[in-house]
Structure 1
Amino acid sequence: MPKKAKELSALSVAKIKDNGRHAVGGVGGLHLRIVNNSRAWVLRVVVGQRFDENGKLHLHRRDIGLGSYPEVSLAEARAKAHEMKAQIRNGIDPIQLKQDQLQALRIQKLRNRTFRECAQIVISNKSRELKNQKHIAQWSTTLETYIYPTLGDISIGTITKVDIAEVLRPIWIEKNETAKRIRGRIETVFDYAKAMEYFEGDNPAEWKGNLEPILGNLKQESRPHPSLPYDQVSTFVQHLRQKDGISPKALEFAILTACRSGEIFGATWQEIDFQNKVWTIPKERMKAEKEHRVPLSEPAIELLKSIQTDTRPQSYIFPAPRTGSMLSDMSLTTLIKRMHEQKVKEDSLGYIDPKQNRVITTHGFRSTFRDWSADMTNYPREVCEHVLAHKLPDEVEAAYLRGAYLEKRKGLMADWAEFCEEYKTA
């Protein structure tokens, strides 16, 4: 049986000066440990035992720190030591208990992360994933406008599906497409929060069986982008060439190539092969995520050469005038709107899609091209579809068209450019 230490008084403890461990009594295993000017209370306890193969008992001892002396008095140290020993008798490891408590506090602190903090990290990750800068900006803008004012500074672990439904409800009918995109973005933020264990349970922004019964579905009517009838395209191009600036050039290039505006905005001089008259768009900027080669007609080449000296070789072909960064859709939308208003003053009609009675859009010129190629040419459907970089159902056929039909597409784009310049209404 271990020898019981003499129970020292507070005054006796204060007089201890030598380095080492000094039993102070009152509680078995309680020591004052002195190392130079450092003094601290240590409780040595048995927290487990085992027998080896020879039947010999081995005790698992552990030192537990109880605080510095004299900040923790002798009486306080003995009280803490009694508490620790009581825990051990009840099968509790005090050190493991403390570690578990600290871990619980750490997890709780993490779960106090706000929706805004989690969303900002998701947006940062998305900036490396998304290829369209406009889409990245939309993430921030829509959350700042519709979500942050209500849920932005709330702990994400406390947000419920009812909270999400309430912030979406005001725009669910009037701006349904925007609201659906926002819901998807909120769901992505909660996926991140769940992965990081900031949130437990089912994703509150899920649609099926979750938000769907609360918000309900709306009947969607798909409408194509308003487009100009092809018999008016040459009039529009002539009007466009009267405008100064980089936006009219970008819009004309979009018309001549039948490409998407995002592909135009991101175009750089390194992508242009003037010798072979081909523009190669890397897969990162293509909707189908496949490299696309665009044959350039003579008017398209002349347009590029006319602005080649106005921009730096390493820059965008159609940079924003003030910043040199990428043009935005709004620049072309504004241009078309002003041209339409000017045209209305001249003949009261303007540039309208007669089927929708809506002002035309940049994207609508792709439909204009497709209607013209179907009605006015004999080029195969597959060739026309490949000009628009539409995904063909047959992968083998698509691969063949990318190579062998490039020459046919050159002819088609040359005919389109001639039509844009010369066709006159009867």
Structure 2
Amino acid sequence: MAALGGKLTKRLVENLGPGRHGDGGGLYLVVDPSGARRWIVRVTIKGQKNKKGAPLRTDFGIGGADVVSLAQARDRALEYRRMARQGLNPRYNAKKDIPTFAEFAEQVHIERLPTWKNEKHGRQWINTLRDYAFPMIGRMPVDAIGQPEVLMCLSPIWTEKHETARRLSQRIKTVLDVARAKGFRTQENPVTAIKEAGVLPKVKAKPKHHKAMNWRDVPAFYADLRTRNAMAAKALMFTCLTGSRTGEVLKMRWEELDFEEMVWTCPAERMKAGVTHRVPITDEMLAIIEPLKTMQSEYVFEGQKRHKPLSNMAMLMLLRRMGVEGVTVHGFRSTFRDWAAEVAGAPREVAEMSLSHRIGSQVEQAYARSDLLEKRRALMERWSNFVVGDSAKVVFLSGTRES
């Protein structure tokens, strides 16, 4: 026998605002401020008392409104009311279609695919769960996971792989938060409880710095780069001069460059902070990239495949072939920052904005309407002149060096 109709309609279910909306017979649609919608059934269990001696009245989640239709919710509510009238607690007697943690985590990952900053980040998100959570709790129903189960995942790697464990805890928390929002859980998030109780030992994280070249050594290094004709050398020269990140430079397209205004605009999706960043182009930068127009590629620094960017490892491998050990490509950002402070005496906000770092509090950022482009242009000109130094006077040997 199907459940009878109630006060709600399909349109109301889709459009009602935040709050608890009754359909009748103990069935409620709960709409969170975030817009998430889930079904709740309230029943009074015959013959059972609560701690105060009153009839036991309790709520049960029966799923998210995007998964469980209004008709299905009414059928489930009718089933729960019948159990309650017989003195049976639906929590222990109802048949639940609760997904496992692994099933639900995979679904959350799919739903969030459009929001990932890049494909690599999306893979890392789910792979962390597959490696460290699924073997422990993957087959468990998502509503059966509490603090002990979460600790099974975190404890073995908490001190030895603390950064991985920290990210794992965030991702488990996200899965369980979404499960609760969709009505598959009613209890609080165990990850939050573990954190607040200080169950796991405190681990002092050691900051990891990208190894940087001393700014005094850059002119000689750059002079060596100038003798090389490989695309990786040109990309590394440009990276060194701009203080940009590897991915920002290698995926640079020609349409991002304004040769009249002498500005490179890196789009928000490629920036770490998710904000569009303008980089002033100096004469030396122009001398590097302008000859590359003849290749007519989609990317400024084309790799081995046509219309594909240079490999992320190309510049690092070039450093190793040059015999430059203990230095990373990313480290040239630190090199520039040290030079800007020690030699140029640049104001902090100009130097930091040159590296696309956010300055000040959120309030200060909200009122910072200028990106100080012209002041940064003057600083980058000085940096280019320092880096090039006497290398412009280098007398090349016959031919060019390939690397």
Segments of structure 1 that go 5 or more residues without pairing to the other structure are 1-41, 43-95, 344-349, 352-358
Aligned twin of 1:204: 190
Kindly state the Cα deviation for residue 270 of structure 1 after the two structures are TM-superposed.
1.6
The aligned residue for residue 398 of structure 1 is 368
Which of 364, 372, 375 is matched with 1:408 structurally? 375
- Kept in 1, the 8 Å contact 2:350–2:376? The answer is yes
Q: Give the Cα–Cα distance (whole angstroms) in 1 for the partners of residues 184 and 348 of structure 2.
A: 52
The one-letter code matched in structure 2 to 1:183 is: S
Counterpart contact for 2:147–2:193, Cα < 8 Å: no
CA gap of 1:255–1:132, structure 2 versus 1, over 3 A, is farther
Q: Work out which of the residue numbers 149, 161, 164 in structure 1 matches 2:150.
A: 164
Corresponding residue for residue 70 of structure 1: none
Shift of 1:381: 3.1
**Percentage identity across aligned positions?**
35
Aligned equivalent of 1:296: 281
Residue 267, structure 1, aligned to residue 245, structure 2? no
| Residue ranges of structure 2 left out of the alignment (5+ in a row) | 2-73, 82-89, 392-403
- Supply the distance in 2 between the matched residues of 1:319 and 1:212 (Cα, whole angstroms): 50
- What is aligned with 1:250? 235
Give secondary structure in 2 for the equivalent of 1:188. helix
Greater RCO (Cα-Cα under 8 Å, separation 6 or more) = 2
1:216-227 correspondence runs (5 A):
216-227=201-212
Which one of the candidate residues 97, 103, 109 is aligned to 1:110? 97
User: 1:211 & 1:193 partners in 2: Cα distance?
Assistant: 23
Q: 1:325 to 1:110 in 2, by over 3 A?
A: farther
Question: Within 2, Cα distance between the matches of 1:188 and 1:219?
Answer: 24
TM-score by length of 2: 0.65
- Structure 1 contact 277–297 (Cα < 8 Å) conserved: yes
CA distance in 2, matches of 1:114, 1:328: 39
Q: Please state whether the residue corresponding to 1:389 is helix, strand or coil.
A: coil
Q: Distance in 2 between matches of 1:249 and 1:363?
A: 16
Describe how 1:383-394 pairs up with structure 2 within 5 A.
383-393=350-360, 394=364
SS at match of 2:216: helix
Q: How does 1:83-98 map to 2 (within 5 A)?
A: none
Alpha-carbon distance change, 101 to 321 in structure 1, aligned in 2, over 3 angstroms = farther
Summarize deviations over 1:289-348 as a string: whole Å, max 9, x none: 4322110112222322333344633xx444664596666655544544x24xx52xxxxx
Equivalent AA in structure 2 for residue 416 of structure 1: W
Shift of 1:191: 1.1
Shift in alpha-carbon separation, 1:98–1:361, aligned structure 2, 3 A: closer
CA RMSD between the two structures: 3.3
Larger Rg: 1
Aligned partners of 1:153 and 1:372: how far apart in 2?
54
Amino acid at match of 1:305: E
TM-score by length of 1: 0.62
Alignment of 1:381 with 2:319, yes or no, is no
Alpha-carbon offset, residue 423 of structure 1? 6.0
